[in-house]
Amino acid sequence: MSTVAAAWNRKHLLDIESLTAEESHLVHATARAFKAVGERPIKKVPALRGKTVINLFIEPSTRTRISFELAAMRLTADVINFTAEASSLKKGETLRDTARNLEALNADIIIIRHSATGAPHFLSRFLRGSVVNAGDGAHEHPTQALLDTFTIREKKGHIEGLKVTILGDILYSRVARSNIWALLKLGASVTLCGPSTLVPRVFEQLGCRVTYDVDEAIVEADVINLLRIQHERQRQTMFPSIGEYTHLFGLTKARFARTKPDVLIMHPGPINRGVEINSEVADCESSAILEQVTNGLAVRMAVLFLVNGGKGPQEISG
């Protein structure tokens, strides 16, 4: 593993698009140390002691919210969970006012999930504290991409030169966009595959390869990242039926048998067994799906730790 030279000077983590490869390396290196903390009898460190972290989840989420919540707790921060269903947003308050009110409680870090693209960027323009994007519309989900690349690096030893296929709903997926940015910056080649209605050719402009032939897309892949069909984000039917999707694009046992022997199967969850992935394939040796969850916690601890850092030089003697 190369040594990390870059310093982290970001107050917010809003997207992967603006993140450098060096900054991703730094998050990974930091996450490795935090993963080790999770393996100790005492899984908590005082790095964010006395800090207040607010989970501002305007769009429903369970796993990402719990992951961020536990990450903050393991750093000894105080955490408040704020969900749209039980909030004044229902009473007509604007996002700006909601965020300002939370800031009036002296929140240090606000983690936001929102259905609108750019909501975290918007908050970052007027809030004093740090803003971490936990998913904004179909735009980006930076911590997911950081944990996915962390997992690939851990399993494969490197990212540069790997062939990664992202299979499924690309159009509506913020996970896909963040992963594309991260993988390309870290030197992987990216193939996108799925129904043509959900994988527009316009993605080629980012530097990806687009194909609609799933068998060709998976046979050479070192990593296959499966994305869920997002029923909740599709405004009209983009393909005839779930059964047809499974038939044409699902990672069935027959397709899995034709992949490389050391292929890594990934999925950001929640998985739909029998739809985009065969149940046995999801649980097989090649699958890193649960490891991704473990790594997600470590990566989110690293991100909270890094954005909390103040300005100035890194090293001081003691």
Partner 1 sequence: MPEKTTILNPQAIHRVLTRIAHEIAERNDDSQSVVVVGVQRGGIHLAERLGALLKSVWSHPVPVGRIDVGMHRDDLDHHAAPHIQPTVMPFDITGNTVVLVDDVLFSGRTTRAALDALNDFGRPRCIQLAVLVDRGHRELPIKPDFVGKNVPTAMHERIDVHLKEQGGEDVVYLEKTT
Residues binding partner 1 (CB under 8 A): 4, 7-9, 26, 29-30, 32-34, 36-37, 40-42, 44-47, 75, 305-306, 308-318
Strands (E), the chain: 52-57, 78-83, 109-114, 130-136, 163-167, 189-193, 209-211, 223-226, 264-266
- Give the integer Cα–Cα distance in Å for 45 and 223: 33
CA–CA separation, 132 and 121 (whole Å):
9
Short-list 5, 21, 32, CA closest to 185: 21
| C-alpha triplet 49, 95, 17: angle, nearest 5° | 70
The residues with which 287 forms a beta bridge, in sequence order, are: 265
**Least distance CB 34 / partner 1 (angstroms):** 8
Residue 46 or 92 having the CB closest to partner 1: 46
CB burial of 215-227 (b: ≥16 within 10 Å; e: otherwise) equals eebbeebbbbbbb
Contacts of 53 (CB under 8 A, 6+ apart): 68, 72, 77, 78, 79, 80, 107, 108, 109, 110, 111, 304
CB of 308 to partner 1, least distance (A): 7
Going by C-alpha positions, the residue among 315, 313, 303, 316 that lies closest to residue 48 is 303
Question: In the complex with partner 1, which residue's Cβ is closer, 45 or 271?
Answer: 45
